Chain A
Amino acid sequence: MKKIFAITKEELFDKKWFLIGLGVLIGFLGLYLVNLLSGLDLSGLQAYLDTLPESLLALLGPLDIANPYSLFNAYFFSFLWLYCGVFLVYMASSLVPQEVENNTIDLVLSKPVSREKYLTGKILFLYIFIACLMGLILLFAVAGMASSSMFIEAGLHWERLGALFLAATLHLGTLAMTAVLFSTVFLNTKKTLAASVITMFIMFFMGGSYGTAGATLSNPLRYASTWFYYNPAQYFGTGNFSSFLGDVLVLLAVNVGLIIASLMVFRKRDIPV
């Protein structure tokens, strides 16, 4: 374990300013949105929304505008994969290939550390990074909500933020682990990044548009996409936790599956010069 932590520690030390910068930037965006929403006439907006045709509303998805949690989620937490995901995928894509490209992997793997421990150290770093990033972002959200009269009136439900933290961390974890798996296959930053980003957007469209697909396509599409198991609109927007445990278990299983696949691929790979 000492060697795994040594690898994790160096990565955290290297990326600390990136973590703080990204967390603060997205956190401030959340804070800004809370303040923006606090100044809006939500009942007026809801009345306008009620006048829209039902087919258009179906496209927009379930949106309870009068509820500040639902609105904040629609503008912020539903897009966390985009705000953070792209950076995470980039970082996870380059974590191992960059060491191959810089020849530093030879130095490390010629020391008494197995490939499994090396990769586990990198993976552990990614989860700690994601958890810390989410923690920072939610800290700003807590500050915004606690100072917003709109949220205070609707009641401060911290358990919803707790559920969101877990679901978002696991969901972002699946994106990062997909990139790690591709990186062990290609050992090349550009190829890994391309494959990971394409996969991410395919998953997003599969998970987000299953309602508009035909009946025969609908089920396989939605079940295959990790987006189907990330439902902040339910946990955070409405406080409905009925699918939370199932979603978390599926996302956890996907993460574990991707980690095992990455370790299996990496242990068999030749490290190129």
Chain B
Amino acid sequence: MATPTVIQTCNLTKYYGKNRGIENLNLDVRKGEIFGFLGPNGAGKTTTIRLLLDLIRATSGDATILGHNVQTESEMIRERVAYLPGELGIFKDWTASRTLSYLLKLYDRPVNWEKVEELAQILNLDLRKKTRELSRGNKQKIGIISVLAPDVELLILDEPTSGLDPLVNNEFYRLLTEKQVASGCTVFLSSHQLEEVEKIAHRVGIIRQGTLVEVAAVTQLKQLALKHVEMLLSSPSDAKAVAEKLPKKAVRNFTVEGSYARFLVKREELTLLLPQLKDVSFRDINIRDSTLEDIFLEYYGTEANGKQVNNKKKSGSTFESRKSKRKRFE
């Protein structure tokens, strides 16, 4: 039996005047999965989420959540959904406790205060403090508790870890995974960081310029991951020698600027690169996760904002073009 669909959009389109928000977005999120919604800033992730929550109205197309129309039956839907925005608005003069009490009492079910207090303790949040006295990360914790405390069937999280320190970030993903496993709820998680999404998602949808360009399992997505390497050379004249010693199969987009050599390497090919470095003369090296912009540039031949580069064919939305693009990273 097919897994029921929790979120379904059909040609969902939103224009803000003449500006595109999203265009003909077709999305299926299945019951019980963690669906990562990945895209660079301005791709239309937040617009999609705000349409699903009926905070804004679609220009055309339809969307349903749990079988209900998001516009005509939104209150019924929101009884079964919890939402965490990326830019969390906070009632500045209220305490964390009052904020949570107000928000959670808007559900028809009784508030589980034991759960709220337990989460606050795990996240090390003082509920008695006024929110204006809290750091950005601590304010975000209020939002996290407001989505993890109620028993709902769908969690919609829009860049949930912005402002959180790495320790709390890990704690949040642990709590989220625990909740998802225990309750079987569906999670729709948007992010612009590949590494964040691949940690917990089962499937990932990639949105670019307001259109879904790819839906892939995380195993496929992991092959997309690139590392950005920056080497401080001993001398600018070493650049040519360095380029020759690096494994050509693994290294992409090699550029030199002054004493700095920069290139991309697939994460799984780092093992090929590292043994070669012992023969290379450099003073410092910095290896970091590549941005989505780098990934779009590498795999789709376009920058995240849609600008075409290197005369590569602009990625379209047809099945054939998507198939060929997928081949490039498989």
Known: A14-B93, A102-B92, A103-B89. A109 touches B57 (CB 8 A): no
Q: Quick one: CB contact mask for A109-120 with B, threshold 8 Å, 1 for yes?
A: 111111000000
Q: In the complex, are the beta carbons of A102 and B90 less than 8 A apart?
A: yes
Asked if B78 lies at the interface with its beta carbon under 8 angstroms from chain A, I say yes
Q: In the complex, are the beta carbons of B89 and A107 less than 8 A apart?
A: yes
Q: Which residue from chain B places its CB closest to the CB of A272 in the assembled complex?
A: B56
Known: A108-B106, A109-B53. A114 touches B75 (CB 8 A): yes
Chain A residues near B74: list those with CB within 8 A: 114
Interface residues on A, range: 20 to 34
Nearest CB of chain B from residue A178's CB, rounded to whole Å: 25
Q: Which residue from chain A places its CB closest to the CB of B57 in the assembled complex?
A: A270
Nearest CB of chain A from residue B34's CB, rounded to whole Å: 19
Q: Which of B80-88, B175-183, B266-274, B301-309 contacts A (4 or more CB under 8 A)?
A: B80-88
Chain B residues near A273: list those with CB within 8 A: 46, 50, 87
Most buried by B among A14, A99, A107, A108: A107
Known: A102-B89, A104-B91. A112 touches B79 (CB 8 A): yes
Q: Quick one: CB contact mask for B59-79 with A, threshold 8 Å, 1 for yes?
A: 000000000000000111011
Nearest CB of chain B from residue A95's CB, rounded to whole Å: 13
CA gap between A270 and B57 in the complex, in Å: 6
Most buried by B among A110, A111, A268: A110
Nearest CB of chain A from residue B85's CB, rounded to whole Å: 5
Nearest CB of chain B from residue A170's CB, rounded to whole Å: 30
Chain A residues near B46: list those with CB within 8 A: 273
Chain B residues near A6: list those with CB within 8 A: 102, 105-106
CA gap between A123 and B87 in the complex, in Å: 27
Chain B residues near A103: list those with CB within 8 A: 85, 87-89
Asked if B107 lies at the interface with its beta carbon under 8 angstroms from chain A, I say yes
Q: Quick one: CB contact mask for B106-144 with A, threshold 8 Å, 1 for yes?
A: 111000000000000000000000000000000000010
Q: In the complex, are the beta carbons of A105 and B89 less than 8 A apart?
A: yes
CA gap between A111 and B149 in the complex, in Å: 13
Q: In the complex, are the beta carbons of B83 and A10 less than 8 A apart?
A: no
Contact of B83 among A104, A110, A271 (CB under 8 A): A110
Asked if B285 lies at the interface with its beta carbon under 8 angstroms from chain A, I say no
CA gap between A105 and B56 in the complex, in Å: 12
Nearest CB of chain A from residue B41's CB, rounded to whole Å: 13
Q: In the complex, are the beta carbons of B106 and A270 less than 8 A apart?
A: no
Nearest CB of chain B from residue A104's CB, rounded to whole Å: 4
Q: In the complex, are the beta carbons of B75 and A104 less than 8 A apart?
A: no
Chain B residues near A109: list those with CB within 8 A: 53-55
Q: Which residue from chain A places its CB closest to the CB of B53 in the assembled complex?
A: A110
Q: Which residue from chain B places its CB closest to the CB of A13 in the assembled complex?
A: B98
Asked if B146 lies at the interface with its beta carbon under 8 angstroms from chain A, I say yes
A sample of 25 inter-chain contacts (CB < 8 A) reads: A6-B102, A10-B102, A102-B89, A102-B92, A103-B87, A104-B89, A105-B89, A106-B50, A106-B83, A106-B85, A106-B89, A107-B89, A107-B143, A107-B146, A109-B55, A110-B83, A110-B85, A112-B76, A112-B79, A112-B107, A112-B108, A114-B75, A268-B57, A270-B55, A271-B56
Binding site for A on B (CB under 8 A): 46, 50, 53-57, 74-76, 78-79, 81, 83, 85, 87-93, 102-103, 105-108, 143, 146, 156
The 7 closest A-B pairs by CB, nearest first: A103-B89, A111-B106, A110-B83, A104-B89, A112-B79, A270-B56, A112-B78
Binding site for B on A (CB under 8 A): 3, 6, 10, 14, 99, 102-114, 268, 270-271, 273
Given A6-B106, A110-B53, A273-B50, 19 more contacts at CB 8 Å? A10-B102, A102-B89, A106-B50, A106-B55, A106-B83, A106-B85, A107-B143, A108-B103, A108-B106, A109-B53, A110-B85, A110-B156, A112-B75, A112-B79, A112-B107, A113-B78, A113-B106, A270-B55, A270-B56
